[in-house]
Each structure stands twice: as structure tokens, then as C-alpha cells.
Amino acid sequence: MGVPYVALQLIAAGFAFNILSEGMISQGVGMYVMGGIVIIYIFLGGLKSAAITDALQGALMFVALLLGGIYGLVMLGGPGALIEGIANLEPSKLISGPDAAYPWQTGATLLLSVGIGVVIGPLSLTWALSARSEKTIRFAGVFSVTAHAILYVLLIPFVGFVAAVLHPGISVADQVLPTLISTAPALLYAIVGVGIFAAINSTADAYLHASGAMTGHDLYRVLTGSTTVNTWVGRIAQLVVVMTGLIMVNQSQSTLVYLGALAGGLGMQTIPALMGAVFWKTFNKYGVFYGMIVGVLVTILTEFVWKHPFGVHSGLWGLLANFAVAYLLSVITKEVISDDSYEKFHRVLEREYGDTEETPSDVKMSV
């Protein structure tokens, strides 16, 4: 999940550099510059610093969207001109009716896949396991849902409609805000420009931290039997993710939407593993492991090879295959998880998220 999401942010950075510099910086150079900035940034800071700066950068992103949308509305001539412009847009711009970019079932399952994949994916789990208490997780859950509702239901559609009416030739989503403020006064241009790069950086560094934590904390300790965390293993993994993302972007410059959808679909493939650990003892390690592999492969195939069979998004096809393999292999291998193993995860949750306000010692990370 980390590779396509980081690649997505690098593409966005390339567009932003190119448009905001009025062509002086090419899209390719912009991607490599942002990749280098993010690598230096995450090497110097840890998970806590990323959480603090991401909160600040998220606020900047919100301000940038709001100011950009208001500026575009003023340039249009007000709400009346916007409504009239929307009424005259081509149906495909509104993604509705027979001329839609996606059939309704694809759009609905895509939103479901991406929404669940982002919430339940490795990044969200990493942040959750780094929380100080159960109260913190609950607050973050309510705040996150509220913030996403404001952004995706109100603010982003507003900015998108303004840009579609004011600049109908925009063909790529990440060109919207930079193009919208291309004629703005210098101060507004600078504020919104900073907000754009803050949004890109906050997403990229978060996924890279999650990738490093999983590699240096989980994978390395399991494979080596070590009781300590090797921060350099995590940092090497982060560098590999950025380089792989750059390679993916250079192979195809037109995969912006595909990468976002692929990342969300891949994030959903953690659901059987979580169910097995928390709710359902039927799943064992063989079923979960090979189910996840099959789920990832099916997601990729139904996203890029057999595109959305029957109009259903790839993430759901991958999850269906994942569940089927996980269940069948768990039944065939007949390795039933012992009560002690099953309760171990619950004891960890109770210990880490009881009434204590201390940060869990075994999830403190410097990667």
C-alpha cells in the first residue's frame, strides 16, 4: 500500500512544482526534489515528530483548499455564476448518467474500497498503536471522521466544481488547486502553495514511517529473533519505497487515479488478518498469509489487467479472493489457534490501552 501512495504523492508534487513555477521546474525534476526532501525529513525525525508536523500540515492543507476555492469563486463572479456553470458542464464532468467516467457500481465500490482501505490499512494501525491511551484513539476516530466528512463531502467537491467551471481544460485532479491560484495575488499564491506541499509531504512521510516501522519493528524482529528495533533497517525500507515509487511513476505518467485506487484496495487486504486476531479463531497463520498474497495479486490484476469485472472495484475482488483462500486454507490445514495465542493479542490491547496514559514502550519508534 505504501508504494502506490508514495508514488501518487510524487506525481502530485511534480504537477505542483511545474505549475507553481510556471514551467521553470519540470514535473520529473519536481518529483525527484520532493522524494529527496521527504527522505531527509523522515530520516531526521521520528514518529512523534511526524504526527505533530502532520497535524500542522493538515491544517495548512485545509486553509489552502478553502482559500483556493474562495478565490476561484470570486473570479467566477459568485455563487450564481458557479451554479450556472455547473448546469452547463458536460455530464462526464459530474460523473453521473450514461456518460460517466465510471458506472455507478464502480464509483460506489471504489469509494467503499478506498475509504475502508485507508482507515484499516497499515498507516492507521501504526498511528493507533502509537497512541497514549484508548481515549486518544476514540478522540482521533471521531475527529478523523468529522474532518474527512468536511473535506470530502463539502470542501473538495466545492473546489472541484469551481475549477471545472473556471478551467474546464484541467484533465488531472492534482492540477486543480495549482491551476486555480495561478493568477492569484502573491500572498495568497504563497499561502496556498505552501498548503499544497504540506498536504503532499504529510501523506508521503506518514506512509513512509509506517513502512519503516513495519519493516524495522515487525519483520526484522521476526526474521532475526532480535528483541531490539533496528532503525537502519526501517530507513533502508523507506528509501526502497521512495525509489520504487519513482520507478513506478517513470514507467507510466498516466497512472494517477490507478495508483490511488490501487493503494486503497491493497489496504483492504489486512481485514482477514485483523478479524483472525480479534474476532474469529477459524483463521490461522497459513490462511491469513496466503490469503493476503492472493488478495494483493487479484487486486492488481482486476485493476490493471481485467479492469473492474462486472463494474466492481478491484479492492473488493481482492478482498473476496482473500477471504476465500484464508478460510479454505485454514480449514484444510486444521491448525486451530490456541486460546493462549488468541488471547495474547487481546491482553496486549488491554495492557496498552487500559487506563494508563503512558506511551506503549514497545511501539516507540525512531523510524
pTM: 0.65
Q: Cell triple for residue 67?
A: 482559500
**3-class DSSP state of 358:** coil
Chain centroid, CA 18 distance in Å? 23
Q: Which of 302, 304, 213 is nearest to 251 (CA)?
A: 304
Q: How far is CA 295 from CA 159, 230, 322, in A?
A: 35, 30, 4
What is the full per-residue pLDDT of the chain (367 aa) written as tens digits?
Answer: 556 667 777 777 777 788 777 778 887 888 888 888 877 877 777 667 777 777 787 788 888 888 888 998 999 888 888 888 888 877 666 654 434 556 777 777 877 777 777 777 777 777 776 777 777 777 877 887 788 778 878 888 888 888 888 888 776 666 787 888 878 888 888 888 777 777 777 777 777 777 777 777 777 776 777 777 667 787 788 788 777 777 766 665 445 556 666 777 787 888 888 777 777 777 887 888 889 899 989 988 888 788 888 888 888 899 999 999 988 988 888 766 655 655 666 565 565 544 444 443 343 333 3
